Amino acid sequence: MSEHLIAPSILTADFLHLEREIEMVNRSEADLLHLDIMDGVFVPNLTFGFPVIRQIKSVSQKPLDVHLMIVDPDRYLEEYRDAGADWLTVHYETCEHLHRTIQKIGELGMKPAVSLNPHTDVALLEPVLADLNMVLVMTVNPGFGGQKFIEASYAKIRKLKQMIKDAGARTLIQVDGGVTQENIGSLIQAGVNVFVVGNTVFSAPDPIQTISNLKQAL
């Protein structure tokens, strides 16, 4: 994989024609398929469970980047692995024993990642940075697609990038929320490696071309 990756989020896809939407992503230059898992408790929305993930896995030719916005994710780590998750992201805010959770995700053969809500300081991840494949910086408040990018995220991303450099780690930085063709260049300069895109792709007249445009911006 290249240093910069595009991960379309199916949160804003047409769920009535989900297989068609995934096959579009398969034909595109996208690198990952991003799945937002919400429980209606940690975030005010519900999405889908294991049967749907397994169906998505059976169609997707891209690795599944599964973002858990749920309380007590430790209960289900093996189930997400079995359903087809390749990358598994848990929220800092929901993990009582974060290091143990990260270790378990890796032991199960998935790439471990941790997400931070907009109000959470990246400095809190310093003890575990070297154990992470990726940090997901939420650039909107989690729960719904189509929100406006939080401008204060740039300083947070730059701080995280310096922390990774100081630690001698190879941890990737992912952003989710409000990523567009207009701000992707500034995000790259700030240090972002992986871009979750929802509305920008699935609301476009030509989603495959839009993904290609985003890749060229990288």
Please pick, among 39, 82, 121, 176, the residue that the annotation labels catalytic.
176
SS3 call for 28:
coil
Alpha-carbon gap, residue 65 to 63, rounded angstroms = 6
Catalytic annotation on 86? no
Report the 10 Å Cβ neighbour count for 150. Answer: 17
Of 170, 89, 88, give the one whose Cα is nearest residue 129: 170
Q: Is 72 a catalytic residue?
A: no
Catalytic residue among 36, 72, 82, 131: 36
Contacts 24+ apart (CB under 8 A), 164-169: 164/129, 167/126, 167/129, 167/130, 168/130, 169/129, 169/130, 169/132
CB atoms within 10 A of CB 40: 13
Would you please indicate which residues are annotated as catalytic (active-site) residues?
A: 36, 176
